[in-house]
């Protein structure tokens, strides 16, 4: 493989008409040939599905519970960007995607689940599809500018442009938001001050609500609680025979004993913490008793405070949220009170951001002009090789400095004329299907040096061509395969004969149903297939001789 990345094996099950097929592709140029409607494009569609293409239950073969497509990609070393993003350390990447009859899909690479969105990104890194549908996208000026920038290696500068544009628009939006009239500003300030005053008046404190809720049950039963506290304090320290007085008497006796026998000192010391604990408990109960003896309206006051906290919390989603909102209001008030100075700063920043954007846009414009001249020359050379010696092709670039966007100030349009004497017009207005196929191939060939996608897929690239032009198309495809793998559907023997591997696709009847069969052609079988494609019988000596000539 010479280090190139390629699709080595494609396994397809229950995909449209394909019940089961396994293809082992070769490096370089591969073609799928067969009669119209045999299922060649279905196999390429399966590759597209594998790499993030559309998933519809209609793709599942009738009567099957679901479909699956698996691709084995191999390389001496995968591109660094892919290895970094997917963590690939191997030289083999197995991608599998399934779809059930209800339209549910799942994908994986090397046995690990892969989101379909990331699968599509992976697909763009691995395979570039060129079909009649993709050719139509060439007619979009926005894509034409993208192609030109890829050719000019401006993608990094495009990223810089996008970042500068987004920064400029962000500052512009801030500035527009700061442009309040004096009346609007005063109204806003009045509203914010009222809101802040209401929050500050509540004098919120985190945890207060829980404290109040724990205190209310005791206050509701204040009389009973006071009696229980009084009784407990009597037993602890108030009565003549209380625990404190008894422990104190015992401690005095042990202290007297210690003077007679020192070993009693440790016993006396062990009672001291008990006495201190009893006295502390009595004091704490006294404090709680004092609360119960306070203003009899305290319970109502606590209920009122709880209701006030609850109103604020309900409005803002909690006490912490209310305090956070108060901070935001204070910041906005400060900003509005300093609005003039802020607007001046935003004006300065917006001018600076716009100037930076314009500088890069001007530089990108000049590089695009230079690259467009080179691209025109290369595409014209390719079109001449493809049987269109009189065709004219140019890139019209217009710059509108007043309408800067994320890609700069330029618009690009591919201009084309197929015949001498005709004025060049936008490609979307002039090219027929066959001409568009050749322009697309010419562009792809010209862009091949700048395009790092390792696998190219062509479907119906031979539309509207034949004879000498078909040979030219084949040579172009073979040339593209020198640096990457090319998969191509073709009806033309001149193109098929140039492939390094040719696969015959045909419909077969199995058990009363139609299915698709795929066979790699080699030797005499390939000669016969080419003879049929030439329009003769495969047994015809003239047809076989012509086929051999094409192969050699």
1-131+460-521: CATH class: alpha beta
What's the predicted TM-score (pTM) here? 0.61
Instruction: Encode pLDDT of 18-42 as tens digits.
Output: 888 999 999 999 999 888 777 888 8
Question: ∠ CA 137-143-145 to the nearest 5 degrees?
Answer: 150
> Which of 164, 134, 136, 147 lies closest to 397, judged by CA?
147
Query: Which residue ranges of the chain lie beneath pLDDT 50?
Result: 1-2
Q: Cα Rg for the chain, rounded, in angstroms?
A: 42
Alpha helices in 427-534 (DSSP H): 427-430, 433-447, 467-480, 493-496, 523-533
Q: Where are the domains of the chain?
A: 1-131+460-521, 188-336
Spatial distance between the Cα atoms of 241 and 152, rounded to a whole number of angstroms: 102
3-state SS string for 119-172:
HHHHHHHHEEEECHHHHHHCCCHHHHHHHHHHHCCCHHHHHHHHHHHHHHHHHH
> Which of 362, 411, 408, 410 lies closest to 164, judged by CA?
408
503 in Cβ contact with 521 (< 8 Å): yes
The pLDDT, as a whole number, for residue 435 is 76
Beta carbons within 8 Å of 289's beta carbon, 6+ residues apart: 226, 229, 230, 233
> Which of 465, 514, 472, 523 lies closest to 491, judged by CA?
465
Bridge partners, residue 488, by sequence = 31, 458
The pLDDT, as a whole number, for residue 81 is 67
**In whole angstroms, how far apart are CA 259 and each of 61, 220, 232, 263, 265?**
105, 53, 35, 9, 8
As a whole number of Å, the end-to-end CA separation of the chain is 23
């Amino acid at each position: 493989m010479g280090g190139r990345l390629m699709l080595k094996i494609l396994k397809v099950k229950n995909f449209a008409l394909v019940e089961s097929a396994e293809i082992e592709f070769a490096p370089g140029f591969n073609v799928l040939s067969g009669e119209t409607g045999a299922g060649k494009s279905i196999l390429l569609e399966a590759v597209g599905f594998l790499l993030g293409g559309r998933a519809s239950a209609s793709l599942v073969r009738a009567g099957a519970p679901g479909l699956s497509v698996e691709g084995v990609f191999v390389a001496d070393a995968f591109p660094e960007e892919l290895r970094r993003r997917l963590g690939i350390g191997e030289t083999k990447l197995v991608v599998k995607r399934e779809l059930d009859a209800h339209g549910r899909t799942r994908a994986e690479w090397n046995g690990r689940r892969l989101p379909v969105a990331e699968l599509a990104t992976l697909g763009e890194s691995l395979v570039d599809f060129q079909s009649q549908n993709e050719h139509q996208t060439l007619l979009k000026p926005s894509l034409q500018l993208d192609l030109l920038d890829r050719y000019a290696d401006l993608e990094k500068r495009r990223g810089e442009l996008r970042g500068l544009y987004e920064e400029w628009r962000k500052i512009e939006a801030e500035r527009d938001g700061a442009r309040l009239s004096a009346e609007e500003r005063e109204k806003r300030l009045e509203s914010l001050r009222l809101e802040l005053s209401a929050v500050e008046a509540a004098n919120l404190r985190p945890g207060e609500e829980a404290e109040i809720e724990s205190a209310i049950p005791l206050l509701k039963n204040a009389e009973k609680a006071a009696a229980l506290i009084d009784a407990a304090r009597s037993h602890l320290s108030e009565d003549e025979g209380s625990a404190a007085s008894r422990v104190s008497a015992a401690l005095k006796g042990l202290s007297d004993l210690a003077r007679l026998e020192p070993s009693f000192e440790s016993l006396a010391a062990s009672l001291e913490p008990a006495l201190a604990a009893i006295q502390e408990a009595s004091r704490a109960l006294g404090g709680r008793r004092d609360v119960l003896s306070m203003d009899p309206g305290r319970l109502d006051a606590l209920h009122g405070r709880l209701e006030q906290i609850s109103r604020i919390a309900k409005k803002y989603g909690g006490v912490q949220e209310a305090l956070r909102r108060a901070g935001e209001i204070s910041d906005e008030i400060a900003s509005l009170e300093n609005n003039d100075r802020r607007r001046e700063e935003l004006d300065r920043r917006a001018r600076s951001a716009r100037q930076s954007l314009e500088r890069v846009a001007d530089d990108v414009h000049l590089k695009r002009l230079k690259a467009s001249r080179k691209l025109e020359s290369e595409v014209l050379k390719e079109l001449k090789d493809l049987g269109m010696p009189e065709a004219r092709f140019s890139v019209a670039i217009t710059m509108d400095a007043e309408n800067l966007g994320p890609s700069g100030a330029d618009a690009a349009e591919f201009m084309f004329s197929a015949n001498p004497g005709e004025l060049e017009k936008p490609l979307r207005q002039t090219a027929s299907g066959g001409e568009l196929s050749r322009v697309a191939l010419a562009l792809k060939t010209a862009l091949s040096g700048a395009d790092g996608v390792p696998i190219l897929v062509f479907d119906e690239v031979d539309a509207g061509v034949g004879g000498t032009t078909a040979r030219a198309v084949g040579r172009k495809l073979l040339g593209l395969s020198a640096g990457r793998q090319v998969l191509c559907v073709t009806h033309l023997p001149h193109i098929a004969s140039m492939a390094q591997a040719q696969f015959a696709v045909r419909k077969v009847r199995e058990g009363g149903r139609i299915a698709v069969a795929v066979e790699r052609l080699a030797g005499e079988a390939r000669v016969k297939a080419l003879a049929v494609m030439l329009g003769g019988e495969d047994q015809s000596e003239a047809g076989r001789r012509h086929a051999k000539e094409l192969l050699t």
